[in-house]
Chain A
Amino acid sequence: MNNLIVSPAPHVHTSNTVTKTMLNVIIALLPALVVAVIYFGMGALIVTGISVVSCVLFEYLINKFLLKKACTIGDLSAVVTGLLLAFNLPANLPWWIIVIGALVAIGIGKMTFGGLGNNPFNPALVGRVFLLISFPVQMTTWPVPQGFATKYIDAVTAATPLSAFNEGATEMPSYLDLLLGHVGGSFGEVSALALIIGGIYLLARKVITWHIPVSIILTVAVFSCILWLCDNTYMDPLTHLLAGGLMLGAIFMATDYATSPMTHMGQIIYGVLIGIIVVVIRTWGAYPEGMSFAILIMNAVTPLLNHYCRPRRFGENPKK
C-alpha cells in the first residue's frame, strides 16, 4: 500500500475553478463580439485582439519581472479584462491608445493591488476611463455601423444615440436598432440582445446571480420612467435601458466578483445605487453616458456595503 495522504476535511471538492469561471464569462461575451464584427467589421476584431493580447502580455511581464511571482495568465482573467476593455472602445481606435489602455487596466487597475481578486476597481473600467479622460477626441469618435468592412481606421463616424440626445437631437434610432445593435457606440455595447443572451448564459451556469443586473435594470427603468412621466423631454425608459453601456455594464462589469459586494443584500443596494447614479449622470451630467463612472463610484462603496450588509446569521431573528 502507498503512503496514505492525511489532510483535513472536506475530502471532496467542486469541479468549478477560476479558469472555468473566466472561460464562461468569455463564452458569454462571444455573441456581442459576433454582432460587433457584423456591424463594424474587422475593426472590432483588431481592437479586441490588440486589447486581449496586450492585457495578457502585461500581466505576464509584470508577474515575471516586477513582482517575480508565479505566472497567473492561465486563469484567463486577463483575457476577460482585455475583452471588456475592448468592448468599451470605438472600433476605429488607434492601436497605441489601446495598448496604453491595457497597460493602465492591468498595471494600475489590477496588478498594483496584488492581482486577481485584490483590485478595488474594475480594471477594464479603470483603463477605459483613463483613456476617455486622456484621449477625449479619439475615444468619442464613433464609427457608424456599416456592415462588415475590412477597413480599420478610416470609418465614417457619427454620434452615439446618447450623445446625440445629449446634444438635443430629436430623431432617435428605433428600439429594434438599439436591441440588435445597429447604432454607433463602443462596439461591444451596441447590441442589448446579444448581451442579454450572454447574461442568461452566465445565470444558467451560476457564474453570476440575478441580484446585481436585475436591481440595476429595474432601478434605471423605474427612475427614468418617473422622470419621463413628469416631463417627456427627458429620455424615455426603454432607450435608457437599450442604449449606451447599460446592459454591458449591468451584466458584465458591475457583476465583477472582486469589486461587487459579497452578500445579496449588499448586491441589491449596490445595483440600485448604480442605477440611480447612471440616470443622474445621463440626465443632468456633462457626459452623455455614465455607466463607467457609476460602476467605479460604487466599486469604491463596496467595502462599506460588505461591512454593513452581513448575511443573516443562523438563529438571528428566527421566524417563529
Chain B
Amino acid sequence: MRTFRIGGLHPHDNKEFSAHKAITDVALPTQAVVPLAQHIGAPTKPVVAKGDKVLVGQVIAEAGGFMSANVHAPVSGTVAKVDSIVDSYGLPMPAIIIDVEGDEWLPEIDRTDNIISTIKAEPKEIIGKIQAAGIVGLGGACFPTHVKLSPPPGNKAECLIINAVECEPFLTCDHQLMLEHGEEIIIGIDIICKALGIDKAYIGIEGNKPDAIAKFEELVKKAVNHVEVVPLKLRYPQGGEKQLIDAVIRRQVPSGALPIATGAVVQNVATVYAVYQAVQKNRPLVDRVMTVTGPSVSNPGNYRVRFGTSLNDVIAAAGGVPEDTGKIICGGPMMGRAMANTNMPAHKRTSGILLLPESMSTRREPENCMRCGKCVDVCPMGLEPYLLSKMGDMRMWDEMEQHNVMDCIECGCCLYTCPSNRPLLDYIRMGKATVGGILRARAAAAKAAAEAAKAEEKK
C-alpha cells in the first residue's frame, strides 16, 4: 500500500468508539445561532434583519467576495437578532440568531432520498451552484470549494483526488458517510470532474477502513469517469493535502506553491457529498455529519447536526458530558482545538467533538531535549522541529525563516513523538506567526517602494 514519502507516524487511532455507528439526526434546537464566518476568507454580510421570517435553505448572509461563502438559514423561524457572541475560545463571533418555528424548507429543495445520477448542469452552472450553496472544504480547513474548482490562470487541473483518509484519531464521520452515501459520493465525483473538465479521479482511503475500500471498489464501476480507489497505508498526517497528493500521485507541492501546481485538486469526501446535494438536489450546506466521541462518552457516534445547534445539545445527544471529562476538543486530538466551554454553535468547521478524560488531558512536564532526532524523523515536511523550537525560544526569526518554518503544517507529529515532552510545536507556531508578520510587512514595504518609484517616474 502506498503512503507519503517523508516522515509521519501512526498514533493509536481510537476509532472503535464511534466506528460503524449509523448517522443519526440531532433534534432541532429551539434557537439557532448561525455564525457569519464559517470559512476561510472575507466575512459574509447579513441580508436579513430582526423580525424577518426565514425558511431552511434561504440565504441569510451573502458572501463578502469571491473568496467567501454564503450562509444559509439552517432552521426555519424568525430572526431574533443579528449580534456577536463569544465563542468557546473566547473570541467574538458575529452571528444571526433565529428562533426556530417548525422545519419548513424552501420549496425548490429536493429532500427525498431519490438518487439522481444524470448530471444536467454545465461546468459553469455547476460551479455557480456550488458557490451559491455556500460549500466549503469540510475536512477542517473550510476553504471555499468554488475557489478550488476555479484554478488560477496558468494552472490546469489534471486529476481529482478525493480525501477519504480521515487520519485524525477518534473521528469516524467521513467513514460512516462513505458507507451510507457511497452512490451519492460517486455522482459527486463525476460532477466535480465535469466542472473541472477532467476524467480522472482517485479516492484515497486508509487501510483501517477495509469495508469502505471494498464498497468503493464496487461503486467506482458505475462512475462515468475513470475513478480509482487507492488504499493507503496507515500514516498520520496522510489527510494533509500535500501528503495526500504525494501518496496518491507521487508529486510534491513545491514550498510556497498551491497544490494545483501538481495538477491535482483535492476534495474531502464530505465536501463531495455536499456538492452532490447542491447540484442535484438544490440543497445548500445547512448541516454536516460530525463525530461525538471519547473514551468515557456513553453514546459515542456520528451525528447529523444543523448548523447553529449548540454544542451542548450535540453532546447531550451523545449521552452528555462524562463525569471524568478534563478537556473538550473541537475536531480530532492531533489538530483539534481545546474549548473553554461548549456554548458555541456547531458550524461548517466542526468535524467532531472529542471529550477526553482528565487523565488524558494534561501534558507531562518537559525534560531536557536529548537530541534523539525523532522529531526530525517524523516531520512530514522535512523540517527540523528541535532546531526551530530552539530558535523560537531564542527569538531568532531570520534563522527560522531560513529553516523553512512557514512550510510547517502544524500536524503535531513532532510534539506527539517527543520522549522529553518538549513543547516543540508551540514554539514553531509562535515562530510562524512572527515570521508571517515579518513577511507580510516586507511585502507591503516592497509594494509601497515600487509604487513610490512608479509615482516618481510619472513626474
Show the binding face of A for B, using Cβ within 8 Å.
Answer: 1-2, 4-14, 16-18, 20-21, 72, 75, 77, 114-118, 257-258, 261-263, 310-316, 318-320
Contact between B338 and A12 (Cβ–Cβ < 8 Å)? Answer: no
Contact between B339 and A314 (Cβ–Cβ < 8 Å)? Answer: no
Give the segment of B172-180, B268-276, B365-373 that binds chain A.
B365-373
Q: Given A4-B340, A313-B255, A314-B407, A257–B425 Cβ distance below 8 Å?
A: no
> What are 16 contact pairs spanning A and B, CB under 8 A?
A1-B325, A9-B336, A10-B334, A11-B327, A11-B333, A11-B354, A12-B169, A18-B370, A117-B368, A258-B371, A311-B379, A313-B255, A314-B246, A314-B381, A314-B382, A318-B251
Contact between B362 and A115 (Cβ–Cβ < 8 Å)? Answer: no
Chain A residue numbers with a CB within 8 Å of B328 are 4
Most buried by B among A118, A261, A311: A311
Could you tell me the distance in whole angstroms from the C-beta of A158 to the nearest C-beta in chain B? Answer: 39
Chain A residue numbers with a CB within 8 Å of B420 are 17-18, 117
Band of interface residues on B: 35 or more
Q: Is B198 in the interface zone, CB < 8 Å from A?
A: no
Which listed residue, A7, A14, A20, touches B416 by the CB 8 Å rule?
A: A14
Q: What 1/0 flags go to B334-366 for Cβ under 8 Å of A? A: 111111110000000000001010101111100
Q: What 1/0 flags go to B301-331 for Cβ under 8 Å of A? A: 0000000000000000000010001111100
Q: Is B84 in the interface zone, CB < 8 Å from A?
A: no
B338 nearest in chain A by CB position: A6
Contact between A4 and B325 (Cβ–Cβ < 8 Å)? Answer: yes
Chain B residue numbers with a CB within 8 Å of A11 are 327, 329, 333-334, 336, 338, 354, 356, 360-361
Q: What 1/0 flags go to B379-390 for Cβ under 8 Å of A? A: 111111011000
- In whole angstroms, how far apart are the Cα atoms of A6 and B363 in the complex? 11
- In whole angstroms, how far apart are the Cα atoms of A167 and B340 in the complex? 74
Known: A17-B364, A316-B255. 19 other contacts (CB 8 A): A5-B326, A6-B338, A10-B416, A12-B11, A12-B333, A13-B415, A13-B416, A14-B417, A16-B419, A21-B372, A72-B368, A257-B371, A261-B373, A262-B384, A311-B376, A314-B246, A315-B253, A315-B254, A318-B252
Show the binding face of B for A, using Cβ within 8 Å.
Answer: 6, 11-12, 169, 242, 246, 250-255, 257, 321, 325-329, 333-341, 354, 356, 358, 360-364, 367-373, 376, 379-384, 386-387, 404, 407, 410, 412, 415-421, 425-426, 429
Contact between A13 and B255 (Cβ–Cβ < 8 Å)? Answer: no
- Chief secondary structure at chain A's binding surface: loop
Which listed residue, B169, B250, B340, B416, touches A6 by the CB 8 Å rule?
A: B340
Could you tell me the distance in whole angstroms from the C-beta of A255 to the nearest C-beta in chain B? Answer: 10
- In whole angstroms, how far apart are the Cα atoms of A189 and B119 in the complex? 74
Contact between B368 and A5 (Cβ–Cβ < 8 Å)? Answer: no
Could you tell me the distance in whole angstroms from the C-beta of A315 to the nearest C-beta in chain B? Answer: 4
- Chief secondary structure at chain B's binding surface: loop
Chain A residue numbers with a CB within 8 Å of B407 are 313-315
- In whole angstroms, how far apart are the Cα atoms of A10 and B237 in the complex? 12
Chain A residue numbers with a CB within 8 Å of B337 are 9
Could you tell me the distance in whole angstroms from the C-beta of B163 to the nearest C-beta in chain A? Answer: 17
Chain A residue numbers with a CB within 8 Å of B169 are 12
- In whole angstroms, how far apart are the Cα atoms of A59 and B364 in the complex? 23
B257 nearest in chain A by CB position: A315
Contact between B372 and A4 (Cβ–Cβ < 8 Å)? Answer: no
Could you tell me the distance in whole angstroms from the C-beta of A313 to the nearest C-beta in chain B? Answer: 4
Most buried by B among A4, A6, A311: A4
Could you tell me the distance in whole angstroms from the C-beta of A257 to the nearest C-beta in chain B? Answer: 4
B365 nearest in chain A by CB position: A70
Could you tell me the distance in whole angstroms from the C-beta of B256 to the nearest C-beta in chain A? Answer: 9
Chain B residue numbers with a CB within 8 Å of A320 are 251
Which listed residue, B257, B360, B376, B417, touches A263 by the CB 8 Å rule?
A: B376
Chain A residue numbers with a CB within 8 Å of B426 are 8
- In whole angstroms, how far apart are the Cα atoms of A258 and B373 in the complex? 9
Chain B residue numbers with a CB within 8 Å of A116 are 367-368, 370
- In whole angstroms, how far apart are the Cα atoms of A320 and B368 in the complex? 41
Q: Given A4-B339, A12-B334, A313-B407, A257–B254 Cβ distance below 8 Å?
A: no
- In whole angstroms, how far apart are the Cα atoms of A320 and B261 in the complex? 12
Contact between A314 and B338 (Cβ–Cβ < 8 Å)? Answer: no
Could you tell me the distance in whole angstroms from the C-beta of A318 to the nearest C-beta in chain B? Answer: 4
Contact between B6 and A312 (Cβ–Cβ < 8 Å)? Answer: yes
Contact between B369 and A313 (Cβ–Cβ < 8 Å)? Answer: no
Q: Given A313-B255, A315-B252, A4–B368 Cβ distance below 8 Å?
A: no
Q: Given A12-B11, A14-B416, A17-B419, A257–B373 Cβ distance below 8 Å?
A: yes
Could you tell me the distance in whole angstroms from the C-beta of B301 to the nearest C-beta in chain A? Answer: 20
Chain B residue numbers with a CB within 8 Å of A261 are 373
Chain A residue numbers with a CB within 8 Å of B250 are 319
